[in-house]
Amino acid sequence: MNRVLKQTARRLGAMALVLGSTGIFAAYGQQMPAEYDQVLKTLGKQGDFKENVLKVNIPRNDLKVTIDGIATPTPFGFGGWLAMTKGSGGMDVMMGDLVLQEDEVNPVMSALLDNGLEVTAIHNHFFFESPRIFFMHVHGHGKAADLATKTKPAVDLIGKIPAQHQSSVSGGTSNIAAGQIDTAKIAKIAGHEGEQNGAVYKITVGRDDLKLKEMGAPINARMGLNTWAAFFGSDANAEIAGDVAMLSPEVTSVLKALRGNGLNVVAIHHHMTNTQPTIYFLHYWGTGPAEKLANGFRAALNELGKSRAPR
């Protein structure tokens, strides 16, 4: 009897040693490929390998989130992740969902874009949460080691960016106020005339080049198929907000144009379903001299119409 117990103990001890090592075996006994084990080491994260998918865990355990006053644990909806699986030609497909605070969204986005990865959505999952949380979907393909290297700069920023802004409840710190904006200069930079509505100057640019229809009806700028920019403030100190209507091949280049000009992207989503081609919309916002903001808007416009959806 004692011999049986000793043998069982030895087996359990050996099992614990194997399972305790980084990524040798994942749950259910599926062996972790060496290249995926290296991904975990490169990112400095834990994960598992099941159903031929590496899942890298990026939970926001550093945050204490309340939803409508309810203290909510991280696994409830604040566990960010990256996943990789083998595609054709030995390449990996990577997808992920990163959990970010407001001040983290655009620095993390820039780190991803600068390293050749794609940002495919930014949105919220909750109302009335504190702090405010946004979710960023990422995408890429290539060798697993390269994807890990490209992703690491963005992952390393999460939880390390200090808050730059006051809560919207207590009020921000900007001193932007209604003033004089040289709208003729703004229109010249954008290449399109706008309309004045009180203290706001707004330029709207349609996507008539897409020839979009719904039930035979043309969907034009008045129906919401447009890109726009609204300006408020003065020449020296203004704010801009707007929306960009894009085809899928235009999304990444527009994101780079906006971020390259210091504008913040605040949402990427759909406004329409069942349309052909599929149209993506992003919302952006920024502050600074009006001329600089107009140049950022024009940079985004310059990326539209360069490609067409496949027929």
> Each residue of 208-258: pLDDT tens digit?
899 998 878 888 898 899 999 999 999 999 999 999 999 999 999 999 999
The sign of the dihedral angle between the CA atoms of 178, 183, 186, 191 is positive
Q: What is the pTM of this model?
A: 0.82
User: Distance between CA atoms of 63 and 133, rounded to whole angstroms?
Assistant: 10
> Each residue of 159-172: pLDDT tens digit?
998 877 654 434 44
Q: For residue 70, give both structure tokens.
A: 């309810």
**128-131-133 Cα angle (round to 5):** 80
Give the residue with greater pLDDT, 88 vs 156: 156
Residues 64-84, mean pLDDT to the nearest whole number: 93
Q: What is the pLDDT of residue 3?
A: 53
User: pLDDT-based confidence at 176, cuts 50/70/90?
Assistant: confident
Residues 53-60, mean pLDDT to the nearest whole number: 96
Q: What is the pLDDT of residue 20?
A: 42
- What is the rounded average pLDDT for all residues in the chain? 87
Q: What is the pLDDT of residue 7?
A: 54
User: Distance between CA atoms of 34 and 26, rounded to whole angstroms?
Assistant: 12
Q: Kindly state the percentage of the chain with pLDDT values over 90.
A: 74
Q: What is the pLDDT of residue 226?
A: 95
Residues 103-118, mean pLDDT to the nearest whole number: 97
Lowest mean pLDDT among 12-21, 53-62, 88-97, 262-271: 12-21
Residue 174 in this model has a pLDDT that exceeds 70: no
Residue 279 in this model has a pLDDT that exceeds 50: yes
Q: What is the pLDDT of residue 307?
A: 59
How far is the CA of 176 from the CAs of 24, 186, 233, 234, 269, in angstroms?
56, 18, 6, 8, 29
Residues 282-295, mean pLDDT to the nearest whole number: 95
Give the residue with greater pLDDT, 275 vs 205: 205
User: Distance between CA atoms of 256 and 262, rounded to whole angstroms?
Assistant: 10
Q: What is the pLDDT of residue 139?
A: 96
Cis peptide before 75 (omega within 30 of 0): no
Q: What is the pLDDT of residue 54?
A: 95
Print the SS3 string covering the chain.
Answer: CHHHHHHHHHHHHHHHHHHHCCCCECHHHCECCHHHHHHHHHHCCCEEEECCEEEEEEECCCCCEEECCEEECHHHCCEEEEEEEECHHHCEEEEEEEEEEHHHHHHHHHHHHHCCCEEEEEECCCCCEECCEEEEEEEEEECHHHHHHHHHHHHHHCCCCCCCCCCCCCCCCCCCCCCCCCHHHHHHHHCCCCEEECCEEEEEEECHHHCCEECCEECCHHHCCEEEEEEEECCCCEEEEEEEEECHHHHHHHHHHHHHCCCEEEEEECCCCCCCCCCEEEEEEEEECHHHHHHHHHHHHCCCCCCCCCC
Residue 147 in this model has a pLDDT that exceeds 50: yes
